[in-house]
Amino acid sequence: MHRTEDTGLLRKVEAGMHRKEDAGMHRREDASMRRSEKEIKDFDEIIEIIGRCDVCRLALFNDEYPYIVPVSFGIMFENEHLHIIFHSSHQGKKIELLKRDNRVAFEMDNSGSVLIGESGCDSTMQYQSVCGNGLVYVVPELEKPAALAAIMDHYAAGRSFEFSEAAIANTAVLRLTVSSLTAKQSPGKQA
C-alpha cells in the first residue's frame, strides 16, 4: 500500500497567477507527445479548456485493474499548486481505494464534432483534452465551504451558494493536488 503525505507549502500564489511554473507542476519526462503539433503548452489555455469540461475522470489503483470514476469538479489555486476539487460520500469504493493509495491519474475533455470522411480512415474528431497525475487529500472541515463553492463556481460561475452544516458534515470533500499536466487538441481536419 502506498500513501504519499502532503509535503507542505512553499509560498502563497498571488491572485491571478496561472502560469505553469507558478502552479507547482512539471511536465512529465515520460510524456513526450507523439503528435507534438496537437500539444497545448500554454497554461492559461489549459485552464480555459478545463473550464469548458463538465466531467473529470479519476483513475485509481485497484487490486487487479484500474478503477475509473467520473466526478463533478471545480478548481482552486493555492500554495503554488493547481487543485481539482471534488466531493463524495464518506463511504464507497472510491473512498476505500483512496485510503489505500492516494496517487491518481485524471482526464477531462470536451468534444466538438465528429467529421465523417469518404472512408472510415478519413474520419476524425474535434476535441481538446487534459490529462495529469496527482495526489488526493481530504479537505479539512473548515475549508469545505470554500472547496464546495469552487465546484459550484465551475458549473454556475458568479453565483453564490450556501451549504448547510448538515450537508457539509455528510459530504467528503477531496482535493487532488496536480503534480503533472498535459493537454492537446485536434481541430479535426479531415485527411
In order, the DSSP letters of 21-87 are GGGT-B--TT---SSGGGB---HHHHHHHHHH---EEEEE--SSS-EEEEE--EEEEETTEEEEEEE
- What local confidence, expressed as pLDDT, does residue 61 receive? 96
- What local confidence, expressed as pLDDT, does residue 107 receive? 98
Cβ atoms 24, 134 nearer than 8 A: no
Percent of the chain past pLDDT 70, that is, above it, reads 79
| CA atoms of 92 and 87, how far apart (whole Å) | 12
| CA atoms of 93 and 2, how far apart (whole Å) | 17
Cβ atoms 58, 106 nearer than 8 A: yes
Instruction: Please state whether 186 falls in left (phi above 0), alpha (psi between -120 and 50) or beta.
Output: beta
Kindly report the average pLDDT of the chain as a whole number: 83
| CA atoms of 182 and 33, how far apart (whole Å) | 9
| CA atoms of 187 and 179, how far apart (whole Å) | 27
For the chain, which residues make up each domain, given as ranges? 21-186
- What local confidence, expressed as pLDDT, does residue 100 receive? 96
Query: And the C-alpha cell for 80?
Result: 503554488
Rounded to a whole number, what is the distance in angstroms from the first to the last CA of the chain? 47
> pLDDT tens for residues 70-113?
999 999 998 778 999 999 999 999 999 999 999 999 999 997 78
pTM score of the predicted model: 0.80
CATH 3.90.45.10 fits 21-186, yes or no: no
| CA atoms of 153 and 168, how far apart (whole Å) | 17
Kindly tell me if the per-residue pLDDT of 18 is higher than 80.
Answer: no
| CA atoms of 125 and 25, how far apart (whole Å) | 29
- What local confidence, expressed as pLDDT, does residue 155 receive? 96
